[in-house]
Structure 1
Amino acid sequence: MVFELTTYEAYDFANRRHIGPSPSEIAQMLETIGYDTLDDLISATVPDAIRQKEPLDFGEPMSERDALFHMREVAEKNQVLTSLIGQGYYGTTTPAPILRNILENPAWYTAYTPYQPEISQGRLEALLNFQTMVSDLTGLDIANASLLDESTAAAEAMTMAKRTAKSKANVFFVDENCHPQNIAVIKTRAEPLGIEVRVADPDELDATEVFGAIFQYPGTYGHVRDFSGAMEALHENKAIGIVAADPLALALLKSPGEMGADIAIGSTQRFGVPMGYGGPHAAYMSCRDALKRSMPGRIIGVSLDSRGNKAYRLSLQTREQHIRRDKANSNVCTAQALLAVIASMYAVYHGPDGIKAIAQSVHRKAVRLAKGLESVGFTVEPNEFFDTITVEVGALQNVIMKAAVRNGINLRKIGNTRIGISLDERTRPDTIRAVWAAFGVELDYDSVKKREYRLPEAMLRESAYLTHPIFHMNRAEAEMTRYMRRLADRDLALDRAMIPLGSCTMKLNATAEMIPVTWSEFGDLHPFVPADQAEGYSELISDLNHKLCQITGYDAISQQPNSGAQGEYAGLLTIRNWHVANGDGHRNVCLIPTSAHGTNPASASMVGWKVVPVGSDAHGNIDLEDFRAKAEQHGDNLAACMITYPSTHGVFEDTVMEVCEITHKYGGQVYIDGANMNAMVGLSRPADIGGDVSHLNLHKTFCIPHGGGGPGMGPIGVKAHLAEFLPGHPEHGQAVGPVSAAPFGSPSILPVSWAYILLCGGSGLTQATKIAILNANYIAKRLEGAYKILYTGNNGCVAHECILDTRPLSDSAGVTVDDIAKRLIDSGFHAPTMSWPVAGTLMVEPTESEPKAELDRFCDAMLSIRAEAQDIEDGRIDPKNNPLKNAPHTVADLVGEWDRPYSREAACYPAGALRVDKYWPAVNRVDNAYGDRNLVCTCPPMEAYSEAAE
């Protein structure tokens, strides 16, 4: 018998994973737009002058099975030893319910930053728990909802101190017992700002000469000191005191707030987040109430909704870079929301008694280890410590270090004669025996006294922490699992619906790509292990960098920046270092279009540059004559220009190469923001059109999940002449300073992007870009007429996003962009980007992940909203009491009294809303003004929850 072979119609598994529309749907969409083929559409959209000449070719795309098999082979080249290196990174255990229900759950890892609070109540509550945990442990009034890592948090604290101190000094004091990476990142941040950093013993602090000081608690070598006296001296001289504190140690030790600290920073990594070769981990920052408006990062607050129920939201957003631009407190954009959620759940899971028990256990093990070493004559310092000791070993250092590795243990080499050892919650009796053996100590483990403490008596913590009932809930797994599920159900993430945010590229993170993230070989490596133990990571990073160079046209990549904003800063710093090396350190002007991301001007200010804005023409493009005039005006001092391509208006500008040529003519470098690389991969390379530096949002274009506002990765690509000025790291002996705590930023999420590229291949990546452009043009075509498409290219096409002009509705019907955003929630959608880059508009980016049915559902919802606005215009419905003004509607609106002049069905089931799987927001419209007037940023009492439920 002869069988006829059946084939998929050019619709392979790779396309099913990342490309939403089927071939037949693609044909239908092209017909709607008016093109015969996809290539015809691309030719009409992307200028020929910027098209790359050779296609991307990484060989054939891998199957899931082959890709995971290959990645497992690479992962196994990493050697997972027990690392007792410390230095801010510790072994920890992620409770299984948290691992499965949060870290591996797309309901949590595919969510967006909670700018729409009504559909973010779950993660907002979890982040409020995080803030409460941090505020309690540090003894300070208010905390933010996470920063990128401890070292960058330390640098942020320094600049915050500079902004808020009344001292006129320009010196920042750094405790020499701070972790080396913290000192290095502080120095990197300080140098372009002209801040003098003085590193010394805390006893040498002269508070009259500084505007602020930071101390490590406990110190990197284990010392536990009370900094109360230093704080008093700083305050007497109008300076700011900062403590970098280990949150687990704070379960036993006096809090920074009780010492008089103004600011506390640190990492919550050891609260259930794997080391991951350096990240991602949620850093924290807390401060006195008086400083809250100067604190960088996001702050979750408590407000009310339109029916008077408790509701959470982002507070104090006027401090942020999208409002204040170059005057912002920081360029911080991506937080580490997913990791902050995990850390907060770790605290909920264990409660205060559990956290204290873990801290006590770690300390007792450290004491037992120290006593064993002392019993055979080793000198152990300090005498009082929490989890870290330093051992004087003289000429035996290398012998002991090698013996420890043979026993499966990594220790910390300090100078030429000392060894550091830091214990953690995963330390077992066998671990201690293996360390003793490396030192040549043969002891019966049980013979060493078990319960002895070496904490300073005067510094034992007496104040309570984690007192809120949420940290005392029934921690039975059933209740914990249901709590996490309840919170997830209050959110809207990509596992439920399209999130069509322009420039944010909320596309699918394929399951197969997420699997390696939680493999032990990637998750359990300390960032400072010997290189021969991280050969798998080395191979992964090297191959990923090579492929990213092919995609961008750049010659070198740095993976160190752990967010897009951090990538901007690192890229500009690289340009600045190049100018300085060339004797052009005076170049300090950066040309930035007025439509640029808010992080662009904020990043420029962080490297000490002056921002000169460039206007847009009537078509939304860079005003070339204004650009030329300002480049000429500032020619002698021009450092760089920052542009986004395709433009923030969603158009491939024909003049981009001319903009680059003008910049180079006057001695500047071109920074091309990589936010819109989703429209370029496989079609155009930023280096080919004139870029010298770009950052790549791996959490956008290359599929690392947003996680509710982070993790992110923002590696930078550079031309060859800039390669030697890329961020370095002291652990690798490099002279150029680091911008992040770990040498490779947050490497444990790089397997996601590597897998994405392996699974797609060059052809799949290029097809993804084409479909992203197709989907955007399909939405633009379906909605034109109902809404004006604000900017288009020469042939009436848009790039991967389009701007809908909703301003006429405000004039004709009193319908604002906010009303439209909230009404979309009733249809089960996250709103597009609101009022940026043009106030009163919506910027829509569907990405390639969305199938035609989801695009049509969104378009139906938008057309229904236009029809409701028409009803207001025609006088058929009340202009102030209508579905748009009262949106969103909750399930509670289906019961009880109903006094509105439209039906409950019209309220709750508009076009686009699914009947069976309807998404219900947890609250009605949140009152932002009330939340800012009545700022509450820690968990409210449980009675408030009861009141809200009534």
Structure 2
Amino acid sequence: MKTDAFALRHIGPRENDLEHMLKTIGAATLNQLIDETIPSDIRLKSDLDLEPAMTEYEFANHIQKLGNKNKVFQSYIGLGYNAAIIPAVIQRNVFENPGWYTAYTPYQAEIAQGRLEAILNFQTMVIELTGMEIANASLLDEGTAAAEAMALLFDVRSRDQKKNKTNKFFVSEEILPQTLSVLQTRSSPIGVELVIGNHEEFDFSSEYFGAILQYPGKFGQVNDYTAFISKAAENEIKVAVAADILSLVKLTPPGEMGAAVVLGTTQRFGIPLGYGGPHAAYFATKDEYKRSMPGRIIGVTVDTDGNRALRMALQTREQHIKRDKATSNICTAQVLLSVMAGMYSVYHGPKGLQYIADKVHASAATLANALEQSGYLQTNTAFFDTIVVKADAKKVKTIAKENEINFYYIDDNTISISLNETTSITDLNKIVAVFASANGTALTLIETLSETNHFPENVNRTSPFLTHDVFNKYHSETALMRYIKMLERKDLALNHSMISLGSCTMKLNAASEMLPLSMPQWNNIHPFAPLDQAQGYQEMLAKLEQQLNVITGFAGTTLQPNSGAQGEYAGLMVIRAYHQSRGDHHRNIALIPSSAHGTNPASAAMAGMKVVVTKTLENGNIDVDDLREKAILHKDNLACLMVTYPSTHGVFESAIIEITQLIHDNGGQVYMDGANMNAQVGLTNPATIGADVCHLNLHKTFAIPHGGGGPGVGPICVAPQLVPFLPTNPVIPTGGENAITAISAAPWGSALVCLISYGYICMLGAEGLRQSTEYAILNANYIKEKLNGHYDTLYSGENGRAAHEMIIECRPFKEKGIEVTDIAKRLMDYGFHAPTVSFPVAGTMMIEPTESENLEELDRFCDAMIAIRKEIEAATLDNPNNILKNAPHTLMMATTDSWNFPYSREAAAFPLEYIAENKFWPTVRRVDEAYGDRNLNCSCAPIEAYIES
């Protein structure tokens, strides 16, 4: 046994388990199982052409050497990214803690109360700092948050504006360049016309529905936008403000100026630069727009006993429900990062944030004074942390580089300098020395910081913020450590038990893949640093792109999309650009099977395409006859087919090559949703089935952890004809020769977490990747057979096999009054997170164990499901007071003096023997979803605010 082989540690079942598992399944060998699962005409003929697998030790040395090629300069580039101090207590207990980074999206609220509270803290922080009424659980980055603001304001136009087809959106020339690029990408397909200009010269005409301003401006100028927003409101123009969140500690909140939306990034609240991400954007708006608000909102409700509980609110807003009528395709947040940013505010509190903001502003003011004394002109009339200096940029750049300092060079005679919380007096003196050397003046040392405010009194913040107890009681490390641990104990994550979510691939996130994220040579690089300072990153990212090309069989990859839904959108926008380059501007029909993931039609609508739904057969497969009929009907305007493979039902459809050829024959391109790529890697690939573009969920197949609902990475891989259109960035050019504008803010998206997938592929190698896929299929089929006779599997392949996941039928249990939700809640008592509930078929469960789960865990899960099946048999329609309807059972229930249930406490809490060894207690009883929507509250408030009189 090669005990240093990473595959041995990543893959759950042991070699001596294989015979038993295959016997259960009814296959002689693993190869036979795979042959019976994947059609022979799409099987790869040889192993992937990848370098030999590294051991964990070899990878650790490799990534250290590669990281040493990055040069960590003092970066004062700004443009929305600033060096930040990660409090060690947060780095160790959240960022590096699998209890936080391996949790799933909190759809099962009763076992996610800790994460939900942490996100509620984040929302409260955002609401209070921005002066707005409601905030969401975070978005992907500032650029995409700005695009979501534009879409929201377009959606909530007045009746007259919609009638008159008012479609102009004003963008201040002060906007960050990467934000403008994302706005350009997102505006055209939905019919919005951008007008870029000086806000002081804006004419407020009736042709506009909205505007966006930057606060402070991209190079630091602070403007009072009160008059602008007031005049805009008089003309029915709603205003979004992209605001630096730390500046709002000192500056008047945009909400107090009348803004309709306030957005930005929380990166500087204790989140590493990471060469561009992942970072948590924030988004706040008015209560009246909550139904159009993108992303997730955490709200307060009550449980069965009337106790306070948290859950995700207003889910009917989501693209899964609205599909092609959705204004957003957001399917994730940046939860791990929003938790960190929220904890940063909890740790520092209002006084701590005030101290940090004062220090940053004082540093900028002191530097401005020192440079003016050295003969330089500083041109910002009001600023928070960024000054603009007139100087010989070429001369300054040469000297700064020698001193390992980065500024942003606006032009040959203008330099922008953005300071941050890491900036010390020593750092300020180094900056002054650079400029003194550039013009030959004597160096005057800075000894203390100036305390003068360099912005007008009328934009000086006077309102209080972070007044809730949570921001005022955990300021010692001991206190915060215990608070974080208290919340962690309320959450069920992968470090407790299997999370067998169909289509979500909750596999091992190996420690050896995660460790590099904490290394300063990887997490301290500014995304707009010169390329020669990021050679380690450039090598790693290029190698990862090449690895993904090999895995998918495609010719090119962009890593820029920072979620799966962003990847969908990017793929469709590249297809759109391809058609337009050929003069086929009219090709706008997207064929989408009725079983498709909800983000598919939402993404197509956002890309300016018209969705035509195709039928699905009773066996779950695409109705090829219906597809053919619609492809031929729309052949003159066909843009693409969006297809998930293997299907959302967990089946490798044997007609896939016929399907893709049909689309090509009628002038379309094939977009393959990569959500189920964990059943393909090393055995087949998107190019082989005839696709032209696919997105990959690196947070699924390639081991980036879900982080409680983010971060994610959704790169797209494309065939040769689409490579020229891969997206670029306005600051650091990327992409193809005819690149579309930016999909997300940073050139390589969430580059830091790409290290995880890079490590995953390097340490598994071709053989390990293939084995991972084989064992994912093995584990799924093992569960399928173990549950056979207890639950029916809804769909199977032609040989009766599942792919990497399967759907079990739960609808007949309604005869006994049991819903699929009851099974999901009861599983919590057995120590398991529920599989995917009611997707893609209402009243069913979709189970995906992944390759990382061992035989013992698979058996425990099956034992739990079989025990629940027996409990279902004992239920009766006329008696809802049963063990399933009352689930989950909390510790408080089990230890209370009174017990008014027709079953024992032991049956409720310890139904199987294994549970006693590792009991997980849900902290609340079943949450009341309807109450939470009727009484929406999305911030920290006293318990009295939630309890009906």
Q: Secondary structure at the match of 1:732?
A: coil
2:228 is matched with 230
Instruction: Provide, for residues 257-305 of structure 1, a one-character-per-residue CA deviation record: whole Å limited to 9, x for no partner.
Output: 1100010000000000011000000001000111111110000000000
Give 2:246's aligned amino acid: L
- Work out whether 1:25 is the aligned partner of 2:50: no
1:909 is matched with 910
Deviation at 1:702, TM superposition (A): 0.3
Distance 1:835 1:228 in 2: 48
Instruction: Provide, for residues 348-377 of structure 1, a one-character-per-residue CA deviation record: whole Å limited to 9, x for no partner.
Output: 000000001100000000011111111122
Preserved CA contact (<8 Å) 1:371 1:448: no
Aligned pairs (5 A) from 1:677-692: 677-692=677-692
1:133 is matched with 125
Q: Secondary structure at the match of 1:49?
A: helix
Aligned length: 933
Q: Secondary structure at the match of 1:688?
A: helix
Deviation at 1:194, TM superposition (A): 2.2
Aligned pairs (5 A) from 1:833-872: 833-872=836-875
1:713 is matched with 713
Match of 1:202 among 199, 203, 214: 199
Instruction: Provide, for residues 841-894 of structure 1, a one-character-per-residue CA deviation record: whole Å limited to 9, x for no partner.
Output: 000000001001111111111111110111125x9xx73011100000000111
Distance 1:361 1:284 in 2: 23
Instruction: Provide, for residues 219-271 of structure 1, a one-character-per-residue CA deviation record: whole Å limited to 9, x for no partner.
Output: 01111111111111221121211100011000000001110001000000000
Q: Secondary structure at the match of 2:417?
A: strand
Give 2:870's aligned amino acid: A
Distance 1:683 1:909 in 2: 42
Instruction: Provide, for residues 781-809 of structure 1, a one-character-per-residue CA deviation record: whole Å limited to 9, x for no partner.
Output: 01111111000011110000000001111
Distance 2:449 2:880 in 1: 74
- Work out whether 1:332 is the aligned partner of 2:330: yes
Q: Secondary structure at the match of 2:686?
A: coil
Match of 1:112 among 89, 104, 111: 104
- Work out whether 1:438 is the aligned partner of 2:434: yes
Preserved CA contact (<8 Å) 1:11 1:22: no
- Work out whether 1:48 is the aligned partner of 2:40: yes
Preserved CA contact (<8 Å) 2:276 2:749: yes
1:380 is matched with 378
Deviation at 1:196, TM superposition (A): 0.9
Aligned CA RMSD, in angstroms, stands at 1.4
2:787 is matched with 783
- Work out whether 1:174 is the aligned partner of 2:178: no
2:615 is matched with 615
1:287 is matched with 285
Instruction: Provide, for residues 631-653 of structure 1, a one-character-per-residue CA deviation record: whole Å limited to 9, x for no partner.
Output: 01111000000000000000000
1:94 is matched with 86
Deviation at 1:17, TM superposition (A): 2.2
Preserved CA contact (<8 Å) 2:7 2:763: no
Distance 2:688 2:269 in 1: 45
Distance 1:755 1:284 in 2: 30
Distance 1:483 1:743 in 2: 36
Deviation at 1:449, TM superposition (A): 6.4
Q: Secondary structure at the match of 2:462?
A: coil
Distance 1:128 1:726 in 2: 37
- Work out whether 1:76 is the aligned partner of 2:68: yes
Deviation at 1:439, TM superposition (A): 1.1
Distance 1:725 1:669 in 2: 14
1:554 is matched with 554
Give 1:695's aligned amino acid: H
Deviation at 1:588, TM superposition (A): 0.5
2:399 is matched with 403
Distance 1:444 1:708 in 2: 50
Give 2:133's aligned amino acid: D
Distance 1:944 1:479 in 2: 26
Distance 1:272 1:677 in 2: 34
Deviation at 1:736, TM superposition (A): 2.7
Deviation at 1:431, TM superposition (A): 1.4
- Work out whether 1:795 is the aligned partner of 2:799: yes
Deviation at 1:923, TM superposition (A): 0.4
Aligned pairs (5 A) from 1:811-826: 811=815, 813-826=816-829
Give 1:434's aligned amino acid: K
Distance 1:613 1:662 in 2: 16
Q: Secondary structure at the match of 2:453?
A: coil
Distance 2:225 2:283 in 1: 18
1:900 is matched with 901
Distance 1:814 1:343 in 2: 44
Instruction: Provide, for residues 441-480 of structure 1, a one-character-per-residue CA deviation record: whole Å limited to 9, x for no partner.
Output: 5433346763222121111000011011100014111110
Aligned pairs (5 A) from 1:266-415: 266-393=264-391, 396-415=392-411
Q: Secondary structure at the match of 2:664?
A: helix
2:514 is matched with 514
Distance 2:479 2:308 in 1: 23
Give 1:45's aligned amino acid: T
1:758 is matched with 762
Preserved CA contact (<8 Å) 1:293 1:319: yes
Preserved CA contact (<8 Å) 1:149 1:283: yes
Aligned pairs (5 A) from 1:421-820: 421-440=417-436, 442-446=442-446, 450-733=450-733, 736-811=740-815, 813-820=816-823
Gaps in structure 1 of 5+ consecutive residues: 1-7
Preserved CA contact (<8 Å) 1:147 1:297: yes
Give 2:19's aligned amino acid: A
Instruction: Provide, for residues 754-782 of structure 1, a one-character-per-residue CA deviation record: whole Å limited to 9, x for no partner.
Output: 11111111100100000000000000001
Preserved CA contact (<8 Å) 2:71 2:534: yes
Deviation at 1:57, TM superposition (A): 3.7
Query: Normalising by structure 2, what TM-score?
Result: 0.97
Moved over 3 A (4+): 10-13, 441-444, 446-449, 942-945
Higher deviation after alignment, 769-778 or 228-237? 228-237
Higher deviation after alignment, 840-849 or 412-421? 412-421
Distance 2:29 2:463 in 1: 69
Gaps in structure 2 of 5+ consecutive residues: none
Give 2:783's aligned amino acid: I
Preserved CA contact (<8 Å) 2:425 2:446: no
Distance 1:100 1:691, change over 3 A: same
Distance 2:342 2:135 in 1: 13
How many percent identity over aligned positions? 53
Distance 1:595 1:299 in 2: 26
Deviation at 1:545, TM superposition (A): 0.8
Deviation at 1:12, TM superposition (A): 5.7
Match of 1:420 among 386, 391, 416: 416
Preserved CA contact (<8 Å) 1:117 1:312: yes
Deviation at 1:15, TM superposition (A): 2.7
Distance 1:576 1:618 in 2: 32
Instruction: Provide, for residues 117-168 of structure 1, a one-character-per-residue CA deviation record: whole Å limited to 9, x for no partner.
Output: 0011000000000000000000000000000000000001001000012134
Distance 1:923 1:944, change over 3 A: farther
Distance 1:253 1:824, change over 3 A: same
Preserved CA contact (<8 Å) 1:404 1:434: no
Q: Secondary structure at the match of 1:730?
A: coil
Q: Secondary structure at the match of 1:769?
A: helix
Query: Normalising by structure 1, what TM-score?
Result: 0.97
Deviation at 1:100, TM superposition (A): 0.1
Q: Secondary structure at the match of 1:478?
A: helix
Instruction: Provide, for residues 359-414 of structure 1, a one-character-per-residue CA deviation record: whole Å limited to 9, x for no partner.
Output: 00000000111111111221102121100011112xx2111012112112100010
Higher deviation after alignment, 233-242 or 690-699? 233-242
Q: Secondary structure at the match of 1:676?
A: helix
Deviation at 1:940, TM superposition (A): 2.0
Distance 1:916 1:753, change over 3 A: same
1:152 is matched with 144
Give 1:200's aligned amino acid: G
2:933 is matched with 932
Give 2:872's aligned amino acid: A
Distance 2:10 2:611 in 1: 39
Instruction: Provide, for residues 667-707 of structure 1, a one-character-per-residue CA deviation record: whole Å limited to 9, x for no partner.
Output: 00000000000000000010111010000000000000100
Preserved CA contact (<8 Å) 1:827 1:912: no
1:4 is matched with none
1:5 is matched with none
